[in-house]
């Protein structure tokens, strides 16, 4: 009671303490999230030239892009695509605003007509574009309050339509902008003359080359200071984004040998049969070999719960699993083989039937489609029943007079791939056509003609010819995927956990070596990367590696696609800016060595003529004719723009000093100056230059605008 009384007496003090603790907690969070403290928006994906790209709008566009790209594209790929589009739009909008480029209402109407005139939703009875129908469609779309409506082959809502209109308008503005740019990049006659001279003026030279390779790399000392100095002199070359280096060990949930053996043993019930007790009732599993042919589909697909459905079709030997093809092909009818391992499954196969079948067939057909058939054209109106009646009528006509087949193909068939050939498909294997079509042409005789239904509609097929005669087999297979058992999955989890515990106090590499685990390094991960080599798409790892609190040496376990775990450790954190000397040394070392070797070579040479240098350095004096500035290549030396440039600054008979080239140190003598012959008119050259510049202008102009734009990229906060 005394304690309670003291608490009551000091209640105000306690309230104050609690309030300060809460305030401290909030303040700490604010400092951790500086954007919230200093007014930075939490809803801005990027800022381009002072204009924000809103997160909500951006995410809606990413969702739409994801739908367009399909299920194989990741959310990061969709996000990057939208980001590029939005940045481009923002960069170009800056230009449009500065120039006063707009799309007026009348122009927008024309643009909508150009883009949507082919849609039947916006056409009148004569098939012409009707602006009123477009206006009505947009009004109805707006009334749907975000719900989607069908337009052509895709669905969209009012927001999608507005974005589409904006894209069309921006496209028009860009075309106008780039047309103005292209008009301004036309080459003048003077520029054309200079380009002509660069290509056609030549020099004949005599030269000696002392290659850098004459000095062994081991004789050249390159210090860390040399590398730092080289980086500072060539900053543009060594600017890098922020990056992370990691190592990881992977623990895959792969089936064990015991899992395989257990699954293999479970096939005994299909080999010998079994009585199963379920809910007080007996259920007998008939041996696979004893199942009646008519019951095979139900037995394989349902009773045996096979992961491989029964295909009631004949196949050639080449279609069977390669490792057991000979065995299966030579079984007796009704005989069972297995269980055997194939393509990640345990399988049990039974030979159902054999027969002789042509290797290839030549047919002609007429396709009558109906509503709902695959690839049926929009103008198809026949129901399935009506299409069948038409097909039966055509069959009766061609059976009575087969000479009418070609004209009926032209008049009725919807198969555009064969109409020009009179409906004929030349010799082809049984795997080329859909199953009902193939079954008819390969299981019947030359001259047979019949109506066959497929997913495309009704075919009137005539077998014109068949070639070859080979044995084919029909095989029923029970297949079950070999999967990791619960015990195996638990063991993988345990091993990953043990490794995590071990590296709490031990070295990552050493602990992995003790357990015979492979350590895989990944170097130079960027903040928006998605794929980790060896694991696949693993955005969570990248996000964690770039989190503010993640330090070198930190590790974490992640689940990986396909089952299992990766234990990842950060080994290096590289900030945005200039590359560190260690990483830069790969490209800098060679250039620094060149400079030092050039200095050593120069110190050994005092001669002033090509022949003297060649003699003193025991190098040949070579010649190269017709060297030009457009392609500065020297015969016997390779591409040497600096050396060729010096040659074009010299007079005939003049000898240069020593020149540091790309492959060595040179001395040259100009033996002949060949000036380009004058042309009466350089207009053709100007036209060629203008065309080349115009073609490159669009890409180069945008890249230049983007490079000079002020862009703040916040994508990593949200993705």
Query: What is the per-residue pLDDT for 207?
Result: 98
Q: At what angle do helices 75-99 and 683-708 cross, to 10 degrees?
A: 110
Per-residue pLDDT for 244 more than 90? yes
Does the residue 154 lie in any domain? no
Compute the CA torsion angle 633, 634, 640, 644 (nearest 10 deg).
Answer: -90
Asked if residue 264 and residue 248 are part of one domain, the reply reads no
User: Helix (H, G, I), strand (E, B), or coil: what is residue 450?
Assistant: strand
pLDDT band at 2 (very low <50, low <70, confident <90, very high): very low
Does the residue 519 lie in any domain? yes
How does pLDDT run across 217-237, given as a tens digit for each residue? Answer: 999 999 999 999 999 999 989
Query: What is the per-residue pLDDT for 334?
Result: 96
Asked if residue 387 and residue 519 are part of one domain, the reply reads no
- By the 8 A CB rule, do 447 and 463 touch? yes
How does pLDDT run across 625-675, given as a tens digit for each residue? Answer: 999 999 999 999 999 999 999 999 999 999 999 999 999 999 999 999 999
Q: How far apart are CA 358 and CA 463, in angstroms?
A: 12
Query: What is the per-residue pLDDT for 4?
Result: 40
Does the residue 119 lie in any domain? no
pLDDT band at 13 (very low <50, low <70, confident <90, very high): very low
Final residue of a structural domain among 537, 553, 575: 575
Final residue of a structural domain among 332, 356, 380: 356
Per-residue pLDDT for 17 more than 50? no
Q: What percent of the chain clears pLDDT 70, i.e. is strictly above it?
A: 93
How does pLDDT run across 29-40, given as a tens digit for each residue? Answer: 444 444 433 344
How does pLDDT run across 178-193, given as a tens digit for each residue? Answer: 999 988 889 999 999 9
Final residue of a structural domain among 542, 558, 575: 575
How does pLDDT run across 309-361, given as a tens digit for each residue? Answer: 999 989 999 999 999 999 999 999 999 999 999 999 999 999 999 999 999 99
Does the residue 178 lie in any domain? no
Query: What is the per-residue pLDDT for 309?
Result: 95
> Where are the strands (E) in 148-213, listed by range?
149-151, 154-156, 202-211
Asked if residue 48 and residue 11 are part of one domain, the reply reads no
Asked if residue 81 and residue 67 are part of one domain, the reply reads yes
Among 152-161, 297-306, 410-419, 546-555, name the one with the lowest average pLDDT.
152-161
Asked if residue 196 and residue 206 are part of one domain, the reply reads no
Which stretches within 104-155 are classed as H helix?
Answer: 105-116, 131-143
Which stretches within 358-404 are classed as H helix?
Answer: 384-400
Residues spanned by the domain of 49? 43-100+185-200+680-719
Does the residue 233 lie in any domain? no
The residue among 690 and 31 whose pLDDT is bigger is: 690
Does the residue 603 lie in any domain? yes
- By the 8 A CB rule, do 366 and 408 touch? yes
How does pLDDT run across 41-80, given as a tens digit for each residue? Answer: 578 999 999 999 999 999 988 988 888 888 888 888 999 9
Asked if residue 407 and residue 437 are part of one domain, the reply reads yes
Domains: count for the chain: 6
Does the residue 221 lie in any domain? no
pLDDT band at 282 (very low <50, low <70, confident <90, very high): low
Query: What is the per-residue pLDDT for 279?
Result: 61
Nearest to 417 by CA among 369, 460, 367, 372: 367
Per-residue pLDDT for 23 more than 70? no
Mean pLDDT of 399-406: 96
Q: How far apart are CA 382 and CA 443, in angstroms?
A: 30
Q: How far is CA 20 from the centre of its chain?
A: 53
Question: 357-391 burial by CB neighbour count: b if 16+ within 10 A, else e?
Answer: bbebbbbbbbbbbbeebeebeeebebeeeebbebb
How does pLDDT run across 472-516, given as a tens digit for each residue? Answer: 999 999 999 999 999 999 999 999 999 999 999 999 999 999 999
Does the residue 391 lie in any domain? yes
CATH value at residue 509: 3.10.50.40
How does pLDDT run across 141-178, given as a tens digit for each residue? Answer: 999 988 888 888 778 899 889 888 988 998 899 999 99
Asked if residue 190 and residue 47 are part of one domain, the reply reads yes
Query: What is the per-residue pLDDT for 286?
Result: 93
Secondary structure in 3-state letters for 623-642: EEEEECCCCCEECCCEECHH
Asked if residue 510 and residue 381 are part of one domain, the reply reads no
The overall average pLDDT reported for the chain is 90
Asked if residue 665 and residue 605 are part of one domain, the reply reads yes
Asked if residue 383 and residue 460 are part of one domain, the reply reads yes
Asked if residue 625 and residue 554 are part of one domain, the reply reads no
Pairing of strands 202-211, 621-627: antiparallel
Asked if residue 639 and residue 611 are part of one domain, the reply reads yes
How does pLDDT run across 109-137, given as a tens digit for each residue? Answer: 999 999 998 898 899 888 899 999 999 99
Query: What is the per-residue pLDDT for 584?
Result: 86
Tokens of 485: 């058992």
């Amino acid at each position: 009671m005394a304690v309670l009384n003291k608490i009551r007496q000091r209640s105000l003090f306690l309230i104050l303490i609690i309030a300060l603790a809460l305030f401290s907690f909030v303040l700490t969070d604010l400092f951790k999230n500086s954007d919230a403290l200093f007014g930075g928006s939490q809803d801005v994906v990027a800022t381009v030239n002072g204009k924000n790209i809103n997160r909500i709008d951006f995410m809606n566009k990413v969702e739409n892009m994801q739908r367009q790209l399909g299920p194989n594209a990741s959310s990061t790929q969709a996000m990057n695509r939208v980001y590029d589009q939005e940045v481009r739009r923002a960069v170009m909008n800056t230009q449009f605003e500065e120039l006063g480029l707009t799309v007026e209402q009348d122009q927008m109407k024309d643009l909508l007509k150009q883009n949507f005139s082919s849609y039947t939703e916006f056409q009148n009875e004569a098939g012409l574009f009707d602006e009123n129908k477009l206006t009505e469609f947009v009004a109805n779309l707006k009334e749907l309050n975000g719900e989607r409506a069908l337009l052509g082959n895709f669905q969209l809502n009012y927001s999608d339509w507005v974005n589409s209109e904006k894209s069309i308008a921006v496209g028009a503005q860009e075309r106008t902008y780039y047309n103005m740019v292209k008009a301004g990049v036309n080459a003048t006659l003077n520029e054309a003359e200079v380009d002509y001279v660069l290509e056609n003026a030549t020099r004949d030279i005599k030269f000696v080359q002392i290659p850098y390779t004459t000095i062994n790399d081991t004789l050249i000392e390159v210090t860390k200071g040399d590398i730092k100095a080289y980086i500072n002199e060539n900053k543009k070359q060594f600017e890098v984004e922020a990056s992370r280096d990691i190592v990881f060990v992977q623990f895959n949930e792969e089936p064990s040998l015991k899992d395989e053996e257990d699954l293999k043993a479970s096939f005994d019930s299909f080999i010998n049969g079994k009585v199963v007790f379920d809910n007080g009732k007996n259920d007998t599993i008939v041996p696979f070999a004893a199942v009646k042919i008519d019951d095979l589909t139900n037995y394989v697909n349902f009773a045996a719960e096979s992961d491989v459905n029964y295909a009631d079709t004949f196949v050639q030997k080449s279609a069977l699993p390669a490792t057991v093809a000979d065995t299966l092909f030579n079984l007796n009818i009704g005989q069972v083989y297995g269980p055997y391992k194939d393509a990640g499954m345990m399988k049990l196969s039974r030979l159902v039937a054999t027969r002789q079948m042509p290797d290839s067939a030549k047919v002609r057909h007429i396709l009558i489609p109906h509503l709902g058939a695959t690839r049926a054209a929009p103008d198809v109106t026949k129901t399935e029943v009506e299409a069948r009646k038409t097909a039966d009528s055509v069959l009766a006509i061609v059976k009575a007079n087969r000479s009418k087949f070609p004209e009926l193909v032209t008049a009725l068939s919807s198969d555009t791939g064969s109409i020009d050939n009179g409906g004929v498909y030349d010799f082809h294997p049984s795997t080329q056509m859909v199953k009902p079509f193939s079954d008819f042409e390969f299981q019947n005789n030359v001259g047979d003609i019949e109506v066959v239904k497929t997913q495309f509609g009704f075919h009137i097929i005539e077998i014109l010819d068949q070639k070859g005669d080979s044995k084919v087999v029909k095989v029923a297979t029970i297949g079950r995927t070999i999967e990791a058992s619960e015990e195996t999955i638990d063991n993988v989890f345990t091993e990953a956990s043990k490794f995590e515990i071990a590296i709490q106090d031990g070295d990552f590499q050493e602990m992995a070596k003790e357990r015979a685990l492979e350590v895989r390094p990944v170097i130079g991960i960027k903040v928006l990367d998605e794929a980790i080599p060896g694991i696949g798409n693993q955005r969570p790892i990248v996000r964690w590696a770039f989190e503010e609190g993640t330090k070198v040496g930190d590790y974490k376990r992640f689940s990986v696609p396909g089952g299992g775990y990766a234990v990842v450790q950060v080994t290096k954190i590289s900030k945005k800016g200039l590359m560190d000397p260690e990483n830069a040394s790969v490209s800098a070392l060679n250039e620094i060595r060149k400079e030092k070797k050039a200095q050593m070579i120069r110190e050994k040479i005092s001669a002033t003529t090509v022949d003297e240098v060649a003699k003193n350095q025991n190098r040949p004096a070579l010649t190269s004719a017709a060297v030009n500035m457009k392609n500065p290549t020297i015969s016997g030396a390779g591409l040497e723009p600096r050396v060729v440039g010096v040659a074009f600054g010299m007079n005939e008979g003049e000898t240069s000093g020593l020149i540091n080239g790309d492959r060595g140190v040179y001395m040259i003598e100009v033996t002949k100056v060949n000036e380009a012959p004058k042309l009466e008119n350089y207009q053709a050259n100007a036209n060629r230059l203008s065309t080349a510049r115009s073609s490159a202008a669009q890409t180069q102009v945008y890249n230049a605008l983007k490079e000079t734009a002020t862009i703040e990229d916040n994508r990593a906060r949200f993705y």
